[in-house]
Structure 1
């Protein structure tokens, strides 16, 4: 099995400085060894590391983790989309095991996706088959659709089910908009971060109808499970809770469906 969404960081801020303190994040220190204490007892030995936001464009800690734990991790990095050298930065990171690049909307999604640097990123991602990994709210899905139309060969991964339900409400219009993106063959969705969606209570049964809609739209080969560790393992939620929803809580999944969503999809895209 492969966990498609994990964050790691260190409290060694001298060696790995932060662009903003990040003191509100708990725990203060979450290296790979701490992650493995949760994942390995549950049968998960590989994961995709997602650059932690407070490191900004400095991917050094993630790259060091990829080197130290060769074969266990792939990486999703962050680059400066306003830079004229964004493609070169992506290609350099790709040489070190980074297979995707995270983007998020800071203001208007339309203006954000139309920026020249963003266009360069999507073009490079299409040419080198690197994933554009979008942390977006439902209001950015229309702009994402426009970019997918413009760059149909760019692999795209939508984090955390498009964050539908993050305010507690799973709206039909949002679900329809997310599912409509399945018409783009290169779009994938992370079925992840259950602790933050809907009623936010294990075993997350309220998410079942929503996930079924997404499954019917995309199929198992374009869906991948992710824990969003360490945020999943706080406030009464556990790593096992997240995994159990895929293993036991979605009765419509066949054993082959589970094998794709719990590993094969992420392996094909990131490893």
Structure 2
């Protein structure tokens, strides 16, 4: 039997094969990179309002969060610079009342970039009929309720009782802002398991945010108690939370490290699919740039995986609000 001959590969054939392999691996890597979809970044809360004019005046006694109107023309370049794709507009009740026409202008001018959580008057039970067609309004995805000092009693005196079953029946997501009353939503979440409840600003309402003249221990206690109430509601699948307004909760400068344990605690109990990044930009405008508010979550929270960030930075709020 003739012995099979063995030929040593030439330098040319070796280099040719190496180059071909390198090119193939490079193409595979490029293909894999191209296959990864861009992370969609959605701010779960921004207030927009135009200037007060005789034709369209602000509410009497209005006190906007900034001295100048925060308009569509101001937010768009900020979004583009920060890499924010979409924004949920929450019309400021103290300025706009129940009006949504300016927010709808943003929806019309920049298709796909804006949606609206509109306000409903809880002390007007005849609004129940409106909720059935609430999402038929251009850009409106749900309701935002603010239980401030004037409305706090509505949670316990029966004024708001009509709203919860009506919103549940209409499949309307509801965003909520309270001060020290978060625990009251346990009963509502349990009685209405199909009602989507979203707690704003980690459950730390304006009345609980630490003042600069407060002692460090007092500030920490106020925030910790609010966070504890919010964490306790995580056992209800229909409750979720906006990890928003971080600069106002923190007493430090960017990256607001004293707020990170609170973010971590809520992330641990709610998980990435029930946590939403947001800014409430105008309420702490001077404390951080829009880009820094993004990078705090994408670069400063080592306990988040890239998949977690995909959910928290946009995917989760789009799913919860059914924003396509």
| TM-score after normalising by structure 2 | 0.77
Shift of 1:143: 1.3
The whole-number CA distance in structure 2 between the counterparts of 1:72 and 1:62 is: 11
Match of 1:130 among 167, 172, 177: 172
2:125/2:163 contact within 8 Å kept: no
Instruction: After superposition, give the CA deviation of every residue in 1:205-230 in whole Å (9 maximum; x if it has no partner).
Output: 11111111100010010000011123
1:239 to partner: Cα distance: 0.8
CA contact (8 A) 1:82 1:116 kept: no
Counterpart residue number, 1:83: 124
Query: How far apart, in 2, do the equivalents of 1:20 and 1:217 lie?
Result: 42
Q: Whose Rg is larger?
A: 2
The runs of 5 or more residues in structure 2 that have no matched partner are: 1-40, 212-218
Structure 1 residues 34 and 268, CA gap change in structure 2 (3 angstroms): same
- Once the two structures are TM-superposed, the CA of residue 109 in structure 1 deviates from its matched residue by 7.4
Q: Secondary structure at the match of 2:145?
A: strand
Aligned to 2:220: 170
2:75 pairs with 1:25:
no
Q: Say whether 1:103 aligns with 2:145.
A: yes
Q: Which residue of 1 aligns with 2:292?
A: 241
Q: How far does residue 74 in structure 1 lie from its aligned partner after superposition?
A: 1.1
Indicate the residue corresponding to 2:115 in structure 1.
Answer: 74
Q: State the match for 1:194 in structure 2.
A: 246
Q: TM-score, normalised by structure 1?
A: 0.91
Distance in 2 of aligned mates of 1:17 and 1:115? 33
Q: 1:239–1:7: structure 2 CA closer, same or farther, 3 Å change rule?
A: same
1:227 aligns with 2:279: yes
Which secondary structure state, in structure 1, belongs to the residue aligned with residue 161 of structure 2? Answer: helix
Distance 2:281 2:195 in 1: 27
Unaligned runs of 5+ in 1: none
Number of positions where the alignment pairs a residue of Structure 1 with one of Structure 2: 269
Give the whole-Å Cα distance in 2 for the aligned partners of 1:24 and 1:7.
10
Q: Take 2:236 and 2:148, find their aligned partners in 1: how far apart are those partners?
A: 24
Indicate the residue corresponding to 1:7 in structure 2: 47
RMSD: 2.1
